[in-house]
Structure 1
Amino acid sequence: MSYLREIMVRLRERSGASDSGHEPLAVPYSPLTERVLEEHLQTYRERLQACSDAMLPYEWAWLEDHLATLQLSSGQQAMQNVLGGPQRVADLLRETRCFQAEVRGELSRRGLEPGNRTAPLAAQEHAWELSNPAIRQEWGIEPADPLPG
């Protein structure tokens, strides 16, 4: 799913690229059409619905971090290039904002609030992918909570 995860990988590669002198591989780009966006949103909704209540604030905080990274990228040509160009960054911003609306809706349906970040995040793991037991514990995500997807 995650173009967001891909962003973090590419940014990490880029930061390592200057040390090694090698340029990262180009990110293949295909425009985010309405149909593709709706497919991504449908998958995302299903994963959110399968999350426990404790997983949703984590996902909210995770998206906030990724949105901040994308916003930073949108103002810097080099970062845009790493991510596939200005249109790709704009598409990722749009998709991330849609994902945030989905999380907000799911939180509301459950009578929950996004809240403030209370613990660290795993940069490349959505709530349903979170594998670090210490981070899961800090967010109140029980080991028995399902990992959908």
Structure 2
Amino acid sequence: MSFLSEAMQLLKDAGDAAGLSEGAIKCHAGCYRDNLSRCNDAMLQYERVWLQQQLRALRDCQGHPVLMDRVGGEQRLNGLVSQSVLFQLLLQNEFARRGLAPVDHHGPVVAAEEAWEITSVQVKREWGILPA
């Protein structure tokens, strides 16, 4: 399956699962892609690890009614998982576009902060986003 057809299927799946229109999901994907394009290479490495952890946490909620309720129910959870998978695909595409390869995790990840949201100078330094 090509990148475009895989992305379009994920858009449809995410929209269906979350009860959102395809246009709304496309808007989310476009904003995510724009944020990725403004990241430096170190930020992309952080985002890769952040997104892996986010997706793992969402998948850990599946099949657990109390946890699913905390994120808004099974349908919303499935939408968030589909959207995160789409974001992983967009991130992989950005890595490929830049000729980057993933590197081992080498710093703390703040669960509530994507690469472009990091507020901690220490976290930025440990990931190489800011000079040490």
Q: TM-score, normalised by structure 2?
A: 0.82
Partner deviation per Cα, 1:55-76 (whole Å, 9 max, x = no partner): 0010000000000000001121
Corresponding residue of 1:128 = 116
Matches within 5 A, 1:105-124: 105-124=93-112
Is 1:76 matched with 2:68? no
Corresponding residue of 2:15 = none
Following TM superposition, the consecutive aligned residue runs of length 4 or more in structure 1 with deviations greater than 4 angstroms are: none
Distance in 2 separating the partners of 1:101 and 1:114: 14
Is 1:96 matched with 2:89? no
Distance in 2 separating the partners of 1:110 and 1:130: 22
Q: TM-score, normalised by structure 1?
A: 0.73
Partner deviation per Cα, 1:45-93 (whole Å, 9 max, x = no partner): 0010011111001000000000000000112110101111100000000
Q: Displacement of 1:108 after TM fit? A: 0.9
For 2:66, the aligned partner's letter is A
Greater mean alpha carbon deviation, residues 66-75 or residues 31-40: 31-40
Runs of 5+ consecutive residues of structure 2 not aligned to the other structure: 1-17
Matches within 5 A, 1:11-90: 31-90=19-78
Percent identical pairs in the alignment equals: 37
Number of residue pairs aligned between Structure 1 and Structure 2 = 114
